[in-house]
Structure 1
Amino acid sequence: MTTDTREDADPIDEQKLNELVETSLVDLGATVHAALAVIGDELGLYTALDEAGPLTSDEVAEETDTAERYVREWLRAQAAGGYVTYDPETDRYELSPEQAYVLANEESPVFMPGAFQLVTSASKVEPELCEAFRTGEGIGWHEHDEDVFHGTERFFGPSYGAFLLDWIAALDGVDETLQAGGQIADVGCGHGAPTIRMAEAYPKSTVVGIDYHEESIAVARERAETAGVADRVDFEVATAREYDGTDYDLVTMFNCFHDMGDPVGVAAHVRETLSDDGAWMIVEPYAEDRVEDNLTPFGRLAYSISTVACTPNSLSQDVGYGLGAQAGEERTREVITEGGFTRFRRAAETPTSLVFEAKP
């Protein structure tokens, strides 16, 4: 029987230990900061700094009808994190152009408050998630807090607005077909941000948004009314494996394919609903094929969100495939070709997205 302790057998490397402690402190600050970012967004603190700054804490509080003592501490936390710029000579705070682009411009493709809204709300399922770890059961998308859906829309919507038409242009002949008048199905549409964008861009085409979540479809219909395209876009409550329609020229899925319980069955259904010359555009989080190549800041974010929301949603459905948000190109290709597609390629990419085109 050995009497070796861990210290004897595997001594602690003090430098590695200190580095891990430092990383933990950064993460602890980031965790608390996420809630403060949501507060700054909701109360208009970032907007006030953008529109009226540089401001003292008293002036920010006056601009936003909030309590100065809370605002003062919030501003100092934001400055410590690099989200707000502080001038010690004047005791004033402001947003640099870059900070404003990330924190105060809702049309910016890198607008981040929606992401903070998403992740802080998604974490509310922690008790259910802990139990799911024990049982292997899933947690459906519809079981999350309402702010998860709104945060998702606000996080992804601006990037779709910025990149969507370029992504479609990268597909083989699809843009020309839609300009002339085609049929589009946006599956897993959520609140309908990309659905509405396509209806605006292709007025001669018919567009249908599809999602199994009734509350999201209700919001999508309101968004279409506000955007003035309700006469050109329909919304349907249905699953990705059972939605209606045939001869679609384009089927799209934005950051949702990996959430599907039966992605092979979904691929087979998409194949059945496409026209002979149609294309399926699948937008997924950027990922390399090997785990070790995804051990990056973005990979950590994607794996973490996948643990909290994407994989549990897949496990809550029939089959429970659990593809995950960092599946990568080759794994995605395997699933889609197993569903009946013969052509698959990477059509475009950004630092955070992979855009695939699948054709019959």
Structure 2
Amino acid sequence: MTINTTTTESFAGQVVGDVAAAMSGVMTSIGHKLGLYAAMAHAGPISSQQLADKTALAERYVREWLNNQTAGGYIFYDADNSSYTLPDAHVPVLADEDSPVFLVPALEVAASLWLDEEKLLDVFRSGEGIAWGAHHHRLFCGSESLFRPGYKTYLTSEWLRAMDGMEDKLRAGARVADIGCGHGASTIVLAKEFINSRFIGWDSHAESIDTARQRASEAQTNGNLEFKAADAQSYNGGAYDLICFMDCLHDMGDPVGAARHAAKSLAADGRILLVEPAAGDTLEQNINPVSRLYYAASTAVCTPCSMSQDVGLALGAQAGQQRLSEVMLEAGFASVRRIAETPFNIVLEARL
């Protein structure tokens, strides 16, 4: 077999870039946790010593970190005055925790994958699953921090407004269930915006429900919110005007059963808000960096989570609108339509 050495060398360069990015992800996490990005945000050119002084850190480590960030294009270096600058355009991604493109928490998720590597090796061999609660705790907090800014930015201002009449109903007073709520990021956003409505966040992971209750207390919600432990086919308190599945339906072992239970739990003219990872309907449509990230998370988290449950349909994080619509239609819904999308999500509405 003849191998094209030029092609091999080019691919080796690609892998070097990937390894460098993986190792530098630790540097990005450090930059966030030590306040380095925050100290550089909108501060203009700064020397390593000035940044070290500003953050009360050791200059030699700060300088090496800055050089790593410069080599990766996260920070710009001016050789004439030996200064470093965090471009304003990079601030929303690296330093603004309320920005919908704040991506540093994704590194917590990535860290959890490494920490759970032995579990992944086992399920690849056995074909079994890994329950959500069996993962390293960095997955839970990382997911919460990664999803929260998008919910705060889009959930009440765009997604719900795209559901005809739903915003008015929520302002007047409605009953809402947030299924698979995790640490309650989406539920809390809703409860704070629609003070006349009643919200219940449901999740099968009891530890997440405990955290959600703590988050609600910290957020000082208006007494219109509670969190309860139950899975997607056993929660009660029916006649909901709105049932939300926020980045969770594809993780469920029996998404058809979950959707069927939701259909039975809706009030007249009640609707489903289904938020899922951005994806096309075919692999060919998903050959891009965002899908690469989601396929990795799906392999390590979403697919094992589904396969750890009854049925184990394993939709995966890149199911796409067509497959998700098939699930909802099989569960008894009459229509499914896309009402919004972001670079990271597709948002669907289902009606009976």
Instruction: Confirm or deny: 8 A CA contact 1:224 1:230 kept in the other structure.
Output: no
Aligned residue number for residue 257 of structure 2? 265
Residue equivalent to 2:239? 247
Aligned residues: 351
Deviates further, 338-347 or 59-68: 59-68
Residue 19 of structure 1, aligned match among 10, 15, 23: 10
Q: How far 1:52 moved relative to its partner?
A: 4.6
Contact 1:114 1:154 in 2 (8 A): yes
Structure 2 partner of 1:315? 307
Distance 1:123 1:272 in 2: 40
What's the CA shift string for 1:174-219, capped at 9, x where partnerless? Answer: 1121111101111111111110111111111001111111222122
Match of 1:61 among 52, 62, 65: 52
The CA deviation at 1:237 is 0.8
Shift of 1:283: 0.5
Is residue 34–residue 120 contact of structure 1 (8 Å, CA) maintained in 2? no
Query: Match of 2:213, SS?
Result: helix
> Are positions 1:156 and 2:147 aligned together?
yes
Q: Which residue of 2 aligns with 1:103?
A: 94
Partners of 1:258 and 1:323 within 8 A in 2: yes
Measure, in 2, the Cα distance between the counterparts of 1:121 and 1:29: 19
Q: Does 1:172 align with 2:164?
A: yes
Mapped partners of 1:290, 1:100: distance in 2? 34
* 1:84 and 2:72 aligned: no
Q: C-alpha deviations, 1:244-302, integer Å up to 9, x for none?
A: 21110111111111000111110111111111200001101111111111111111111
- Structure 1 residues 98 and 51, CA gap change in structure 2 (3 angstroms): closer
Bigger drift between 332-341 and 12-21 goes to: 12-21
**Stretch moving more, 307-316 or 83-92:** 83-92
User: What CA distance in whole angstroms lies between the structure 2 residues aligned with 1:140 and 1:61?
Assistant: 42
Alignment partner, residue 332 of structure 1? 324
**TM-score, with structure 2 as normaliser:** 0.96
Q: Which runs of 4+ in 1 moved over 4 A?
A: none
Task: Answer yes or no: is the 8 Å Cα contact 2:42–2:86 preserved in 1.
Answer: no
Percent identity, aligned pairs only, is 44
Report if aligned partners of 1:167, 1:347 keep a CA contact under 8 Å in 2.
yes
Residue 170 of structure 1, CA deviation: 0.7
Query: Hey, what does 1:3 align to over in structure 2?
Result: none
Aligned mate of 1:126, from 117, 123, 135: 117
Q: Does 1:341 align with 2:333?
A: yes
- Deviations along 1:322-358, one digit per CA (max 9) or x if unpaired, are 1000011111111111112121111111122110111
Q: Give the residue type in structure 1 aligned to 2:166.
A: V
Whole-angstrom distance in 1 between the partners of 2:57 and 2:126: 45
2:107 corresponds, among 116, 128, 132, to 116
For structure 1, the residue ranges without an aligned partner over 5 or more in a row are 1-6
Note if 1:234 corresponds to 2:248.
Answer: no
Letter in 2 for 1:225: S
Matching residue of 1:211: 203
Deviation (angstroms), 1:51? 6.0
What is the distance in 2 between the residues matched to 1:54 and 1:244? 57
**Hey, what does 1:350 align to over in structure 2?**
342
Once residues 100 and 273 of structure 1 are traced to their aligned partners in structure 2, the CA distance between those partners, rounded to angstroms, is 43
1:248/1:274 contact within 8 Å kept = yes
8 A Cα contact 2:96 2:102, kept in partner: yes
The CA RMSD measured in Å over matched residues stands at 1.3
The more displaced of 142-151 and 233-242 is 142-151
Choose from 189, 214, 217 the match for 1:197: 189
Q: Distance in 2 between matches of 1:127 and 1:72?
A: 35
Whole-angstrom distance in 2 between the partners of 1:286 and 1:111: 17
Q: Secondary structure at the match of 1:191?
A: coil
* Cross-structure match for 2:269: 277
TM-score, normalised relative to structure 1: 0.94
- Distance in 1 separating the partners of 2:201 and 2:154: 19
Name which of 125, 135, 138 aligns with 2:129: 138
Cα distance in 2 for residues equivalent to 1:313 and 1:269: 20
What secondary structure, in the 3-state scheme, does the structure 2 residue paired with 1:113 have? coil
CA distance in 2, matches of 1:18, 1:169: 51
Q: Hey, what does 1:291 align to over in structure 2? A: 283
For structure 2, the 5+ residue unaligned runs are none
Contact preservation (8 Å) 2:177, 2:201? yes
Q: Report if the CA contact (8 A) 2:303-2:316 is conserved.
A: yes
